[in-house]
Chain A
Amino acid sequence: AAGVIQSPRHLIKEKRETATLKCYPIPRHDTVYWYQQGPGQDPQFLISFYEKMQSDKGSIPDRFSAQQFSDYHSELNMSSLELGDSALYFCASSFAGQGPNTGELFFGEGSRLTVL
């Protein structure tokens, strides 16, 4: 079965540079979520989109922005990178309609960002 696809899997950037992460949700899923997981931390919610509209916002820095496109894939743009942005970034998707597993989130393998 198709899963959530994230790219790139690994990314190394310098301070003050820009990075873009991509996420391709499971087919027919209508909601995409972005999470950040620092070393030894639990995942922290950044932002989510439902049907291409922002649906919820968490602890996402102003330097970060995201959007969901017409094909439902999503991109997380991070600018003016700081050392503290080094983390695993997860994308998840879910289906908000009716069904036995409505609302179950499925996560991608993550994109590991290292800021030097």
Chain B
Amino acid sequence: KQEVTQIPAALSVPEGENLVLNCSFTDSAIYNLQWFRQDPGKGLTSLLLIQSSQREQTSGRLNASLDKSSGRSTLYIAASQPGDSATYLCAVTGGLTGGGNKLTFGTGTQLKVEL
């Protein structure tokens, strides 16, 4: 069964810092990896999708990398802002352990960017 872990569970940084969120998954035969942002009590906003043949994707101040062989992904946020404060979730589809097309989510990293 696919398991997704995110480190750290919580992170507090001052405004302007660059930061890295980590995601690891146990079954490396994934189709896709997605990073999401979730504000408290709100829906999930897709930030970046990395397909299994890709190594990284960029959108604005966000850069996500994927190393399938080691079962890892990182989300890099440049020049963090207070508006970036949210929970960031990593999720994967696929895998040899019956993942299919559904997303298996990580435990999330709760980010707080302070003024």
A: residues with CB less than 8 A from B are: 31, 33, 35, 42-45, 48, 50, 55-56, 58, 88, 90, 92, 94, 96, 101-110, 112
CB-based contact B102/A33 at 8 Å: yes
Question: In the assembled complex, which residues on chain B have CB atoms less than 8 Å from the CB atom of A103?
Answer: 31-32, 49, 51, 93, 101
Q: Which of B10-18, B36-44, B66-74, B75-83 contacts A (4 or more CB under 8 A)?
A: B36-44
Question: In the assembled complex, which residues on chain B have CB atoms less than 8 Å from the CB atom of A112?
Answer: 41
Q: In the complex, what distance in Å separates the CA atom of A55 from the CA atom of B102? A: 9
Q: In the complex, what distance in Å separates the CA atom of A35 from the CA atom of B45? A: 14
Majority DSSP secondary structure for residues of A touching B: strand
CB-based contact A43/B107 at 8 Å: no
How many interface residues does B have (CB within 8 Å)?
A: 24
CB-contacts of B96-115 with A (<8 A):
100-108
Q: In the complex, what distance in Å separates the CA atom of A108 from the CA atom of B36? A: 13
Q: In the complex, what distance in Å separates the CA atom of A110 from the CA atom of B45? A: 12
Q: Is B89 an interface residue (CB 8 A)?
A: yes
Q: In the complex, what distance in Å separates the CA atom of A59 from the CA atom of B93? A: 16
Shortest CB-to-CB span from A77 to chain B, Å, is: 20
CB-based contact A42/B102 at 8 Å: no
B106's nearest neighbour on chain A, judged by CB, is A42
Q: Is B28 an interface residue (CB 8 A)?
A: no
Knowing that A58-B102, A94-B101, A101-B49 touch, tell me 20 more A-B residue pairs with CB under 8 angstroms. A31-B101, A33-B103, A35-B103, A42-B89, A42-B108, A43-B103, A43-B105, A48-B102, A55-B100, A55-B101, A102-B51, A103-B51, A103-B93, A103-B101, A104-B46, A106-B46, A107-B43, A108-B43, A109-B42, A110-B43
CB-based contact A109/B49 at 8 Å: no
